[in-house]
A and B are shown apart, each in its own frame.
Chain A
Amino acid sequence: MEPKRFARIASNPAWMLAGLVGALAACTPYPRLLDPAFDPGGRGLNSQFDERSPDVAGRYVVFVSERQRRQNIYLYDLRTNQTIDLPGLNRLTVLASDPDVSRDGRYIVFVGNRQDRSGIYLYDRQTRQVRELAANLNASVREPTISADGSRIAFEASINGQWDIVVYSRSGQPIELPSRPLL
C-alpha cells in the first residue's frame, strides 16, 4: 500500500474509531457475559417471558420458555444466535420440562407430564421422533441428564418412597449400580 493512501485511511476518524473499538474488544477480560441480542420475533435466547432450566453442550443451549403462551422446549444455537426448529417435540398433550442436550445437538432428553403421569422422553432431531425411556419403570421421575456423548441418561425416580438416582443407556437398558443401605 502506498504511504499516502495509508495516511489517508489512518487519518479517517471512522477507521480510527473502528480500530479503537477492535482494540478494546480484544482487551475485554474473561470471564465475560455474552449479551445475545433480544429478538422481538421470539427466536432469541431470552424473551419477555420466563426462560428456565438451561443446559449447554457444544454450540447448543436447550431450555424451557413460555414465550408461546405455553411451556415449550427450545434449542438455541450460540453460533447463529437463533433458536432451531424442533419439529414433533412440543406437543399440546405433554407438559415438557427439565431438558438436556447432547453435544452434537441430536438428542434432547426431558420430563414429559401427561395426565398426572411423568416419563423420561428422548427426542432425536435426526428422525424427529420422541420415545419414552424406561417406560415400564413404575415411578415418578424428574431431573434427567444426558451425557454430552449421548451414551447415558440419568434421572431421579421415586422407587422406594424416596428419590433415588438411576442410570440408563440411550437405548433404554438400565445400568446396574450397587445400591444398598449404608448401615
Chain B
Amino acid sequence: MALSSLTATGWGVDCRWLREVRRGAVTLAIVAIAACSPAEVSLTSGALNSPHSDSQPALSGNGRYLAFVSNRGGSSEIALYDLQLKRLVPLPSISRDDAIAESPSLSYSGRYLVYVASDRGRPEIELYDRISRRVRVLTNGYRGWVRNPNISPDGRYVVFETGRRGQWDIEVLDRGPNIELDRADGT
C-alpha cells in the first residue's frame, strides 16, 4: 500500500519521505549513543534523579556521599553520588551487566560499600573497598538466604537479614579489629 502510493505520487513526496528517514536516523543515532554511554551522560548532567527509578538511598556516615540503586543504565546497579561536588562517582569494579545489585550501604567516609549482588542465582553480600578497588564476597559458604546488609560507620561490622532459621533474623558479621577502619579523621 505504502509502496504503491509512493510510485504513484512521484518525486515531491519521495523527497519528503527521504527527509523523514534522515530525521529518523539522526534521532535513532542520538538515542543509540545515549543508550550506549549512560555513565557519561549521567556524569556530565550532574543530575541525581533520572527519568528511571532511583531507589534505596544510603548516606555515608559523614553525609557527603549517597549510594543508591539506579536503573539508568538499563539494568539495576549501584550508583554513588557526591553531594558536595554534585556529581556521580564512577564505580568501575562493581558495574557488571550480568548481575543485579541492590541494598547499598556506606561506611563513614564512603570507603566501604556493601550491597547484595545476584550474579550466580543466589544473592551474596559483597564488600567493595573504594581505596583498594577490590570486591570481596562476605557470605561465601553461608547457608541461608540473605538480604538487606548494612555496614557500621567504621567498617568493622556488617548486619544483614538471614532466612537461615526459617524466619527473618538478624546476623552480625564481625570483620575483626585488624581491618583498616574507616575513621572520622580519615586515618
What is the interface of chain A, defined by CB distance below 8 A to chain B?
A: 30-34, 36, 45-46, 48-58, 61, 63, 78, 103, 143, 145-149, 151-156, 162-165, 167, 175, 177-183
Contact = CB atoms under 8 A, between A and B. Distances in A.
B83 A51 contact: no
Given A56-B157, A183-B34, 13 more contacts: A31-B174, A48-B167, A56-B152, A63-B170, A103-B61, A143-B56, A148-B108, A154-B58, A164-B54, A165-B66, A178-B46, A180-B47, A182-B41
B93 interface: no
Given A57-B153, A58-B152, A156-B55, A147 B167 contact: no
B122 to A, nearest CB: 18
Interface of B: 30, 34, 38, 41-42, 45-51, 53-63, 66, 68, 72, 83, 86, 108, 138, 148, 150-153, 157-161, 167-179, 184
Nearest to B72: A182
B59 A152 contact: yes
Contacts of B72: 182
Contacts of A54: 148, 150, 159-161, 170
A55 B159 contact: yes
A35 to B, nearest CB: 9
B50 A182 contact: yes
Contacts of B172: 33-34, 36, 45, 56, 61, 78
6 contacts: A46-B170, A55-B159, A61-B159, A143-B57, A177-B48, A182-B42
Contacts of A56: 150-152, 157-159, 172
A86 to B, nearest CB: 17
Given A33-B171, A56-B152, A147 B62 contact: yes
Contacts of B148: 52-54
B139 to A, nearest CB: 10
Nearest to B151: A56
A48 to B, nearest CB: 8
A103 B153 contact: yes
A180 B46 CA distance: 9
Contact of A145 (B48, B59, B83, B86): B59
A147 B170 contact: no
B50 A30 contact: no
B48 A165 contact: yes
Contacts of B173: 31-34
A146 B138 CA distance: 24
B174 A145 contact: no
A147 B63 contact: yes
A57 B152 contact: yes
B46 to A, nearest CB: 5
A72 B175 CA distance: 29
A30 B175 contact: yes
B62 to A, nearest CB: 6
A165 B54 contact: yes
Contact of B174 (A30, A55, A103, A178): A30
Contact of B60 (A53, A147, A183): A147
